């Protein structure tokens, strides 16, 4: 059996899978701060209607337009690889497979949704997309997609990343996007914050506020906003990952995996791999599905399930999700993509149902896992991805203890070529374990009390 299982372009899935169709309990609707459900039309200034339709859809399968597939073929289907060398090193009877999403030109899973988002906006007559980015993985993916589809692209990038990590900013420039350090003087939100805190390093919450303001205030009507995770349609587009992986596991001679693992910041790469398998679990398959987050930002494992805003400035609708509070400032860990205060509502609802068992792992253990990975499998993963690898190693060791030949599947969400400084900090002993103090959680809960309460609906059937 080959170490990498490849699919032909003609084998690519032709539909996305929508977990909302199969969730035992329907999702809670987004609401306004006074608790009123938000209808599709209220989102129209922010997103094009064709994407809003996907956002609220409960159809199980949604066709992928051929024009989108034609762009995805540049790097899709992605390889499913077997980590034979890590297996050997660990002496585990487990079969470890990973879906390699690092092969896209921007180097992560993000283009799986950036391309459809750009394409649907263009179909709707939109000319410009605006977004925000932290370390730059999403911003570079959207810049890439806009260039290929033919839209202009503007990215508000958290100022400290803009200054300290110029490489992804340059990537965006290569693909023709404008990249602006946030907070900026271009928006009211930005000007207000700069007036109060001229030396602020910025935050993702501020950048989201600026990007949304920039999109909705453009008088041409040809500008919309794009988000790289959290929302239903974003997760939908990512399910191509798990749908491909299913076909590939079959080629490898495996049945369904026993364990499915992905790191989770906003939830999109985890959901992309896990949702198609979640359908099997709902239908009765025996499977553990594990979203992994850093102990420094323990949204799923310690954050309450509550209505909260997506951004710091409270401009977005309120979403029912596990959250550390929209005012939460995560410590500056190197896995920039896992520092979001909230989590995708679809993922949260499945956690409540008992379908997923979230796990938090400290970044020091994660870097240790990333090093072991580089020394056995040979590739250098993104710091985000290292969380999935650390959980995989935990499970592979457990399988060894139990003497069980389990099939473990995880999502290799991105490469670490742009993240060398984090590795350097680890290698030179500058990283210490970090556990979020209880006091921080208490203040998050207090902050959320003023808003409508999300019903707690535990099913626990799984």
Interacting residues toward a copy of itself by CB under 8 A? 2-4, 6, 8-10, 73-74, 103, 105, 107, 144, 147-148, 166-167, 170-171, 173-176, 371, 374-375, 377-380, 415, 417-418, 420-421, 423-424, 427
> Which residue's CB is nearer to a copy of itself, number 261 or number 382?
382
Q: How far is the CB of 224 from a copy of itself (least distance, A)?
A: 22
> Which residue's CB is nearer to a copy of itself, number 176 or number 221?
176
Q: How far is the CB of 336 from a copy of itself (least distance, A)?
A: 16
> Which residue's CB is nearer to a copy of itself, number 2 or number 435?
2
Cα atoms found within 13 Å of the Cα of residue 345, Cβ hemisphere only: 24
Q: Which two tokens stand for residue 54?
A: 């996907």
Q: How far is the CB of 410 from a copy of itself (least distance, A)?
A: 17
Q: Are strands 15-17 and 61-63 parallel, antiparallel or unpaired?
A: antiparallel
- Phi and psi (nearest 5°) for 91? 60, 35
> Which residue's CB is nearer to a copy of itself, number 176 or number 331?
176
Q: How far is the CB of 3 from a copy of itself (least distance, A)?
A: 5
DSSP letter string, 101-147: GGGSTTSBSTHHHHHHHHHHHHHTT--EEEEEESSSHHHHHHHHHHH
Q: Are strands 223-225 and 178-182 parallel, antiparallel or unpaired?
A: unpaired
Query: Which residue matches tokens 């390699």?
Result: 100
Identify whether the C-beta of residue 38 lies closer than 8 Å to the C-beta of residue 264. Answer: no
> Which residue's CB is nearer to a copy of itself, number 328 or number 367?
367
Q: How far is the CB of 249 from a copy of itself (least distance, A)?
A: 18
Q: How far is the CB of 433 from a copy of itself (least distance, A)?
A: 20
Could you tell me which residues come within 8 angstroms of residue 292 by beta carbon, excluding any fewer than 6 positions away?
261, 262, 263, 264, 270, 358, 359, 360, 361, 387, 388, 390, 391
Q: 164-167, long-range: CB within 8 Å, 24+ apart, which pairs?
A: 165/135, 165/136, 165/418, 165/421, 167/136, 167/418
Q: How far is the CB of 377 from a copy of itself (least distance, A)?
A: 7
> Which residue's CB is nearer to a copy of itself, number 10 or number 286?
10
> Which residue's CB is nearer to a copy of itself, number 123 or number 173?
173
């Amino acid at each position: 059996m080959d170490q990498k299982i490849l699919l032909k372009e003609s084998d690519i899935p032709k539909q996305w899978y929508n977990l909302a169709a199969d969730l035992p309990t329907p999702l809670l609707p987004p609401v306004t701060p006074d608790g009123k459900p938000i209808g599709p039309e209220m989102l129209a200034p922010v997103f094009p209607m064709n994407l809003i339709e996907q956002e609220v859809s409960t159809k199980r399968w949604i066709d992928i337009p051929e024009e989108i597939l034609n762009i995805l073929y540049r790097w899709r289907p992605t390889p499913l690889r077997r980590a034979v060398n890590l297996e050997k090193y660990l002496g585990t009877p487990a079969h470890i497979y990973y879906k390699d999403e690092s092969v896209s030109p921007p180097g992560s899973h993000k283009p799986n949704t950036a391309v459809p988002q750009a394409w649907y906006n263009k179909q709707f007559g939109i000319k410009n997309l605006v977004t925000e980015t932290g370390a730059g993985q999403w911003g570079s993916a959207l810049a890439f997609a806009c260039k290929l589809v033919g839209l202009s692209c503007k990215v508000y990038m958290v100022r400290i990343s803009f200054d300290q990590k110029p490489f992804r900013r340059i990537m965006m420039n290569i693909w023709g996007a404008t990249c602006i350090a946030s907070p900026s003087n271009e928006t009211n939100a930005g000007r207000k914050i700069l007036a109060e805190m001229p030396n602020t390093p910025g935050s993702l919450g501020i950048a989201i506020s600026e990007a949304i303001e920039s999109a909705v205030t453009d008088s041409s009507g040809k500008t919309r906003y794009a988000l790289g995770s959290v929302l239903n349609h974003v997760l939908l587009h990512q399910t191509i990952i798990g749908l491909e992986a299913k076909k590939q596991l079959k080629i490898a001679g495996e049945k369904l995996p026993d364990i499915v693992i992905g790191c989770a910041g906003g939830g999109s790469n985890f959901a992309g791999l896990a949702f198609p398998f979640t359908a099997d679990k709902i239908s009765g398959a025996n499977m553990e599905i594990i979203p992994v987050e850093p102990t420094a930002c323990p949204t799923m494992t310690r954050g309450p399930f509550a209505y909260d805003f997506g951004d710091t400035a409270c401009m977005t609708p309120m979403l029912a999700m596990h959250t550390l509070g929209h005012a939460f400032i995560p410590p500056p860990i190197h896995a920039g993509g896992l520092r979001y205060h909230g989590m995708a509502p679809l993922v949260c609802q499945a956690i409540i149902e008992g379908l997923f068992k979230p796990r938090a792992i400290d970044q020091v253990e994660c870097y240790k896992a990333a090093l072991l990975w580089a020394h056995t499998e040979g590739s250098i993963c993104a710091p985000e991805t290292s969380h999935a690898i650390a959980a995989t190693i935990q499970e592979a060791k457990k399988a060894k203890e139990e003497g069980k030949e389990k099939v473990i599947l995880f999502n290799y969400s991105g490469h670490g070529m742009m993240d060398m400084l984090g590795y350097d900090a680890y290698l030179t002993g500058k990283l210490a374990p970090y556990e979020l103090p209880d006091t921080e959680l208490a203040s998050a809960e207090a902050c959320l009390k003023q808003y409508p309460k999300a019903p707690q609906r535990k099913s626990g059937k799984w």
